[in-house]
Amino acid sequence: MEFSGAVLAGGRSERFGQDKARFVWRGRPLAEHVLASLARAGERFLVANRPYPEFGVPVHADVIPGGDSLSGLHSALVHARFDWVAVAACDLPYLSPEYWAFMSRAAGRTHARAVVAEGPTGWIEPLAAFYRKDLEPAARTQLEAGDLFLKHLVEAAEAEIVPWSELAPRFGARLFLNANRLEDLVGGADEQASG
């Protein structure tokens, strides 16, 4: 299945204390790890409100700014060339090409307009998911109404939810580790495990 790959890097990184997309972890910026996970996408781009020439992919600003992650997701749907769009936050360095291949197989056989993973706590992971491009009007309407909850767009898409029990054995317990704070990546168990 051909798909677009969009990495959202539009956040202000306030809790992290510096630009997360550019933060070097295990020898590469976080955004580069996520872009590499989307290597099999038919196109890759960043959604961000600042330039990132170093990543070598197009960068698109929010079409409707001020809506947090939903603005980024909406812009990804606007700019994508393919019917399905893999949308990833820039702070999920454990995503892999194998993860996206697994999720794309689910997208290829579903009648839903989104395929979203369940995380280890039972919450969904809407920024490591596939969305159909034709959800763009629904995302726009939601933004214009001031409803910024990604979960509501997932519900409108009647998303297929991939259970954590199917993901953890394949991709490991750290799959959705996201770097909200610098301590999440530096000096903790994760760095010790990496040697």
Quick check: 126 and 139 in contact, CB under 8 A?
no
Tell me, yes or no, whether 168 lies in a domain: yes
CATH code of the domain covering residue 118? 3.90.550.10
Q: Is 17 annotated as a binding residue?
A: no
Q: Is 62 annotated as a binding residue?
A: yes
Q: What is the mean pLDDT of residues 42-48?
A: 97
pTM, to two decimals: 0.90
Tell me, yes or no, whether 41 lies in a domain: yes
Tell me, yes or no, whether 193 lies in a domain: no
Tell me, yes or no, whether 195 lies in a domain: no
pLDDT tens-digit profile of 143-154? 999 999 999 999
Q: Is 8 annotated as a binding residue?
A: yes
Tell me, yes or no, whether 94 lies in a domain: yes
Q: Is 10 annotated as a binding residue?
A: yes
Q: Is 9 annotated as a binding residue?
A: yes
Tell me, yes or no, whether 125 lies in a domain: yes
Q: Is 182 annotated as a binding residue?
A: no
* pLDDT at position 68: 93
- How far, in Å, CA of 65 to CA of 2, rounded? 28
Reduce the DSSP state of residue 5 to 3 states and report it.
strand
DSSP string for residues in 71-132: HHHHHHHHH-SSSEEEEEETT-TT--HHHHHHHHHHHHH-SSSEEEEE-TTS-EEEEEEEEE
pLDDT tens-digit profile of 47-98? 999 999 999 999 999 999 999 999 999 999 999 999 999 999 999 999 999 9
Domain tally for the chain?
1
Tell me, yes or no, whether 194 lies in a domain: no
Residue 81's domain comprises: 4-187
Q: Mean pLDDT for the chain? A: 90
Alpha-carbon 26 to chain mean position: 20
Tell me, yes or no, whether 165 lies in a domain: yes
